[in-house]
Structures are given as C-alpha cells and as structure tokens.
C-alpha cells in the first residue's frame, strides 16, 4: 500500500465515529495485554504510572480523532481565500483532483502572481460532503466560513460513470459562493446571476482524457474566481484588489474558441468593471491630493469605457478645480448628460457652472428642472453640492451667486428654511448690480421664508 493511499484512507476514515470506537477498543485491548508489563515497570521505578498513562493515551486518541473530525483550516491573514470543497467518491478521484485540478489552479494563480496575495484551500472530503448534503448549502458555508474566513468557495462533487457507447466519463458538478460586505439585495442577486454564468453547473469528459479535462475545469474555476472575487472586492470597497483580478481577464476569456454566449456577456462586461475600478482609484488619489495619479487613472477609466457616466462627471470636477477650465468642465458635463440613465447629478454640475459663468438665465432654467426632479440618491447629491459650494465660499472673494444657488437648494430641495434664510441673506448682502435677476428671485423667496418662519 503506497503512501498516497494511506493518506487517503486516513483522511476518509479518521473522522468516522466507528474509527473513534475502534481506536478505543484497540487502546483498551492494548492496556489489557500490556498491563503486567506496565505493573512491572511501575514497581521497578517505584512510581504508579497506570493512573496517568491510561487516561492520557485515551485523551490523546480522542483529541486526535476530534481534530480530524472538526478542525477546519484557517485562511492566512491578509490573503484572498479560495476554498475548493468538491466531494469525491473514491481514492482515485480524490488523487486526480489534487494532482490535476488543484495543481493546475495553483499554477495558473502563481503564473499571474495572484498566489502572492491568495491562498488555495482544498477542504477535506467529509467537510465537502457535509456541504453537498446540506439542506441549505449556503447556510452551511456561512457557518464554515466563520472559522476559515475565506472569500470564494467552489463546491460540488466529482464522480466517474459509464455514458453509453462513449465509455467511462468523469462528471464534475460545480456551484459557487462568494463572501462580500453587506450590499443591497438587488446587487447580491446580480452577482449570483453572474456567478451562474461564469461557473458551469456541470463539466464532463472521457476518462481517457481526464488529465486535460481536470486541467480545463481548473482553468474555468480560475477565471470564475478572478471575475467573481473581483466583483466582491469592488462592492466591498477594495477597487485595488478588484483591478488586480480583472486586468487581462478579457484576453483570457478570448482564449476560449468558441466562447459560449453566456461567457461572451461576462467578457464584454469586464472593461466596464475595470473602468469603474480605475475611476474609484482616481477619486481616492484625488481625495489624497495625488493629482498626477488621479488624472492618470481617470484617463484610463475613460479609455476602458468612453461611456462611463461617473468618469465624465468626475472629470468635470477635475477640469474645474485643478485645471481651472470652466469650458472644458462644461464639455465633460455634456458627455455625462449624454450617458446618464436614471440619475441626474449632472444637472447640479451644469447649473453650478452656469452660475459660475454668470449665465443666470440658463442657470435658473436648470434650477426649475432640478426643483421638479427626483431620484433615489438625490439626498447624497444635495449634501455633496452644499459641501462643495460652501468650501468655495470660504475662500477669498467668494462669488455671491453661489449663495443664491445653495439657498435655492436649501429652500426647494432640502426643505431647510433656516439654511435657506441665511443663504439668501448672504447673497443679498454680497450681490452686485449685474445680479438683478437673481436678486428679484431671492427677495421673493426671503419674503416667503420669513412668513413660514413667522419672522417680521
């Protein structure tokens, strides 16, 4: 019997209850057979060792069995944990999983230097079976992951069966589970749909082609892991990790000829994801005053996806604050407007730029549209707009029209009469002669606000 077979038997049989009982009987039988020798040795050394030796051996055996039965591996600190929990029916299948599937997966990850920040865990067979047989595998994985602390699970089983005239075939059933921070249910469902597209439920291949079959299956899992872990990292606010995993992934999908339709959809989404990831990184650099890096990643974001609404919206901010180019900022807002869907943040930016350029008629036209519009995250936009403008107003030579702008939003959108009163009063105090149109509006608004606040 070779070492591999012994290791398989140890892994497979050790967690079983009958192994525990058999071991206890063997130990007790050994006690009976060796008792006289133990007594003689105790008399020789003048020390009674049976009260210590026998219980200690029993405790060691029970502890060893319990370790094999219940101990789960732990993911390494600061590593992306990839857990393979595929149940195999016999020793041969188990060894092929290790030799062909796991080794290929690790090799692919190592070649891309992903193994530098990831850790592949091959779960013991009895744990894999527990997941497969569970009424709710997801709940079982959530429970297991409290100890393992991994990020990505592939679970299922492998079995060999005859398939008509084709002969013996291996069938591998795959399902996946990804760990991420709490996110909206709709987004979680989107990830689940993508998971089902990128990771096939079943792969089968002839036994005589098992080596290539297991390696091809490992490649599928490798690509699925990169794609799904990348998405989970992005929604968990780690765009750097997401970008590491998604870079080059489109080319890897293109290596499959022909690429199945369900994977074509996934492949086509990769540039959009990379664009969003680079945009997020650009914003991080911008917030940390690393302007060169911010501009670099912003430009790369637009190159990846020229239709990225958020990238053009952010570019307008960079155009205005960094390059001091109002006309270019207006062009960027025009591109954002073109690609906007259900959100209307671009209107706030466009109105602001018209106020800044002292084009008050166009500014007021957009204000009326803003007054009547509504979208889910508009309250966030309102907070950001107020913060942005108050920062500008705290500088040297503040533009009075910006007080009118935030006063209008405080009155009609935020329903904050106190802020609106203060904003419009500041505007009237600083307004110049060319702001007659705005002053006419603000005077009327102040009258209404004071009536509502019972101020004379």
> How many residues would you count in the chain?
456
The four Cα atoms 90, 92, 95, 96 give a dihedral, to 10 degrees, of -120
Distance from C-alpha of 74 to C-alpha of 89, rounded to nearest angstrom: 25
- Nearest Cα residue to 160 out of 146, 147, 173, 145: 173
352 is a domain residue: yes
Same structural domain, 94 and 198? yes
Q: What is the dihedral of CA 317, 320, 322, 328, to 10 degrees?
A: 100
pLDDT tens digit sequence for 58-110: 889 889 888 888 999 999 988 889 999 999 887 778 888 888 888 888 998 88
Residue 202 lies in a domain: yes
Q: Check whether 182 has a pLDDT greater than 80.
A: no
Tens digit of each residue's pLDDT (9 = 90 or more) over 287-338: 999 999 999 999 999 999 999 999 999 999 999 999 999 999 999 999 999 9
C-alpha dist (Å) from residue 164 to 167, 201, 209, 213: 6, 21, 17, 19
- For residue 267, is it within any domain? no
Q: Can you tell me the distance from the alpha carbon of 228 to that of 242, in angstroms, rounded to the nearest whole number?
A: 9
The more confident residue out of 48 and 408 is: 408
Contacts (Cβ under 8 Å, ≥6 apart) of 278: 239, 243, 297, 298, 300, 301, 304
Q: Which residues pair with 82 in a beta bridge?
A: 120, 152
The CB-side HSE value for 400 (13 A sphere, CA atoms) comes to: 16
- Shared-domain flag, residues 220 and 102: yes
Looking at residue 239, what is its pLDDT? Answer: 93
pLDDT value at 243 more than 60: yes
**Residue 154 domain-assigned?**
yes
Do 107 and 35 reside in the same domain of the chain? no
Which pLDDT tens digit goes with each residue over 364-398? 999 999 999 999 899 999 999 999 999 999 988 89
pLDDT at position 183, please?
A: 66
Rounded Cα distance, 454 and 456, in Å: 7
pTM (2 d.p.): 0.81
Establish if 65 belongs to a structural domain. yes
What average pLDDT does this structure show over 227-248?
Answer: 90
CATH number for position 95: 3.40.50
24 and 101 together in one domain: no
Does the pLDDT of residue 165 top 80, yes or no? no
Q: What is the average pLDDT value for the chain, to the nearest integer?
A: 88
Give mean pLDDT, residues 174-180: 86
- Check residues 333 and 113 and name the one with the higher pLDDT: 333
By the 10 Å C-beta count (0-12 exposed, 13-18 middle, 19+ buried), 352 is classed as buried
- Residues paired with 156 in a beta bridge: 86, 174
- Residue 434: burial class (beta carbons within 10 Å; 0-12, 13-18, 19+): exposed
Same domain? For 66 and 91 the reply is no
Of the candidates 236, 251, 277, which is a domain's last residue?
A: 236
φ/ψ of 242, rounded to 5, equals -60, -45
Domain boundary among 175, 210, 236: 236
Based on the domain organization, do 44 and 100 belong to the same domain?
A: no
Residues 65 and 88 occupy one common structural domain: no
Query: Within this chain, do residues 114 and 26 fall inside the same structural domain, yes or no?
Result: no
Residue 437, pLDDT score: 94
pLDDT, greater one: 136 or 58: 136
pLDDT of residue 6: 67
Q: Is residue 152 part of a domain?
A: yes
Task: Answer yes or no: do 32 and 111 share one domain.
Answer: no
Q: Which of 324, 331, 323 is nearest to 349 (CA)?
A: 331
> Can you give the pLDDT at residue 420?
96
Q: Answer for the pair 109, 73: CB distance below 8 angstroms, yes or no.
A: no
Least confident interval from 14-28, 41-55, 71-85, 225-239: 41-55
Range of the domain at 395: 342-455
Are both 50 and 128 inside the same structural domain? no
Q: What is the pLDDT of residue 3?
A: 63
pLDDT of residue 144 exceeding 70, the answer is: yes
Predicted local confidence at residue 217, as pLDDT = 86
For residues 227-256, average pLDDT: 89
Q: Give the Å distances, CA to CA, from 399 to 79, 407, 410.
A: 51, 13, 18
pLDDT surpasses 80 at 149: yes
362 has a pLDDT exceeding 90 = yes
Residue 315 within a domain: no
Number of compact structural domains in the chain: 3
Task: In whole angstroms, give the CA distance from residue 82 to residue 108.
Answer: 13
Specify whether 40 is located in the same domain as 135: no
Please name which of 257, 253, 293 lies closest in space to residue 271, comparing C-alpha atoms. 253
Same domain for 231 and 112: yes
Q: Tens digits of per-residue pLDDT, 396-405?
A: 889 999 999 9
pLDDT given for residue 135 in this prediction: 93
Is a pLDDT exceeding 80 seen at residue 50?
no
Mean pLDDT (whole number) for 207-235? 86
Model confidence pLDDT, tens digit, residues 244-294: 999 989 998 888 777 777 788 888 999 999 999 999 999 999 999 999 999
- Judged against a pLDDT cut of 70, whether residue 9 lies above it is answered with no
- Please check the confidence at residue 31 and state whether its pLDDT lies above 80: no
In which band, very low, low, confident or very high, does the pLDDT at 37 lie, cut at 50, 70 and 90?
low
Asked if the structure places residue 242 within a domain, the reply is no
CA–CA dist 109, 77 (Å, integer): 18
248: left (phi over 0), alpha (psi -120 to 50) or beta: left
Above 70 in pLDDT, residue 197? yes
Edge-to-edge order in the sheet of strand 168-178: 118-122, 80-88, 152-162, 168-178, 202-206
Which of 236, 261, 295 is the last residue before a domain boundary?
236
């Amino acid at each position: 019997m070779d070492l591999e077979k012994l290791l398989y038997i140890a892994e497979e049989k050790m967690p079983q209850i009958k192994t525990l009982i058999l071991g206890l009987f063997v130990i007790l039988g050994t006690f009976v057979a060796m008792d006289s020798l133990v007594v003689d040795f105790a008399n020789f050394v003048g020390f009674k060792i049976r009260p210590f030796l026998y219980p200690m051996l029993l405790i060691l055996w029970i502890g060893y069995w319990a370790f094999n039965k219940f101990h789960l591996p732990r993911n390494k600190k600061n590593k992306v944990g990839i857990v393979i929990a595929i149940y195999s029916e016999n020793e041969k299948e188990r060894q092929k999983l290790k030799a062909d599937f796991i080794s290929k997966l690790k090799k692919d990850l190592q070649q891309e230097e992903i193994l530098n920040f990831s850790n592949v865990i091959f779960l013991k067979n009895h744990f894999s079976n527990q997941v497969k047989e569970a009424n709710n595998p997801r709940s079982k994985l959530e429970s297991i992951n409290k100890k393992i602390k991994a990020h990505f699970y592939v679970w299922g089983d492998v079995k060999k069966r005859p398939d008509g005239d084709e002969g013996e075939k291996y069938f591998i059933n795959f399902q996946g589970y990804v760990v991420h921070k709490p996110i909206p249910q709709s987004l979680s469902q989107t990830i689940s749909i993508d998971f089902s597209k990128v990771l096939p439920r079943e792969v089968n291949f002839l036994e005589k082609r098992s080596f290539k079959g297991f390696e091809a299956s490992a490649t599928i899992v490798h690509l699925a892991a990169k794609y799904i872990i990348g998405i989970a990292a992005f929604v968990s606010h780690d765009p750097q990790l997401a970008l590491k995993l998604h870079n080059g992934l489109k080319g890897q999908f293109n290596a499959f000829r022909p690429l199945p339709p369900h994977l074509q959809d996934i492949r086509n989404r990769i540039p959009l994801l990379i664009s969003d990831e680079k945009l997020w990184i650009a914003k991080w650099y911008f917030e940390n005053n690393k302007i060169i890096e911010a501009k670099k990643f912003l430009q790369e974001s637009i190159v990846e996806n020229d239709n990225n609404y958020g990238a053009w919206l952010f570019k307008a901010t960079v155009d205005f604050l960094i390059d001091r180019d109002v006309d270019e900022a207006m062009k960027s807002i025009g591109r954002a407007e073109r690609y906007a869907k259900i959100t209307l943040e671009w209107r706030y930016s466009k109105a602001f730029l018209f106020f800044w350029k002292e084009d008050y008629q166009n500014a007021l036209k957009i204000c009326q549209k803003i007054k009547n519009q509504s979208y889910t995250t508009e309250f966030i936009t309102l907070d950001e707009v107020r913060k942005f403008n108050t920062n500008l107003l705290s500088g040297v030579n503040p533009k009075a029209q910006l007080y009118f702008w935030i006063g209008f939003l405080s009155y009609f959108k935020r329903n904050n009469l106190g802020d609106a009163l203060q904003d419009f009063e500041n505007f009237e105090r600083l307004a110049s002669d060319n702001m007659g149109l705005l002053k006419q509006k603000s005077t009327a608004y102040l009258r209404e606000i004071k009536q509502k606040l019972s101020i004379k």
